[in-house]
Amino acid sequence: MKLHVVFVVAGVEYALPITFVLQMESFTGATPVPGSPPYVLGVVTLRGRVIPVLDLRRRFGLPAVAPTLDTRIIVTQVGGRVVAFCVDRAREVILLEPERLQPAPELLSERTIGFVNGTYTVGQRLLLLLDLPRISESDHDHEPHALPAADDHRRPALPG
């Protein structure tokens, strides 16, 4: 049994192990950073730290929407890297049994391939398990200038 944070992007529910999450906040805007890729909204200051914010919609190749009261920032830590994700909604933590994890089917959207580790079924709900390290790593693979540019502010020497 592991606790997961549940969030929604474009109507699809995703689960993220709570161990990756540092904190969650309402989105009140980010300071844009020149030269950053389009899915980087900018940086925010939280508890004295300057953290880059990625828009998961854009990261998934979906059209951007204006932020609402429900819009949330999930601050994650993978290894030593602290990255915040902007999602449409995040109001829930849920207990999930690891043995009920199913592998991601091939039918999933092309765009999400490589971002999802598997699926959970809770009652009628279908949750996609987000592969957070992949998202961070794939930034380097596909868009080498994006994340380092954002991260270089905080951590110039990021371990592989």
**Which spans of this chain sit near another protein (rule: CB under 8 A)?**
3, 5, 18-19, 21-26, 69-70, 72, 90-93
Alpha helices, DSSP H only, in the chain? Answer: 56-59, 132-142, 146-151
d(CA 127, CA 61): 19
CB of 156 to another protein, least distance (A): 27
d(CA 21, CA 42): 19
Our CB check for another protein shows the closer of 69 and 107 to be 69
d(CA 42, CA 34): 9
CB of 18 to another protein, least distance (A): 4
CB of 23 to another protein, least distance (A): 6
Our CB check for another protein shows the closer of 5 and 56 to be 5
d(CA 16, CA 131): 8
125-130-118 Cα angle (round to 5)? 65
CB of 72 to another protein, least distance (A): 8
Our CB check for another protein shows the closer of 17 and 114 to be 17
Token pair listed for 9 = 């992007």
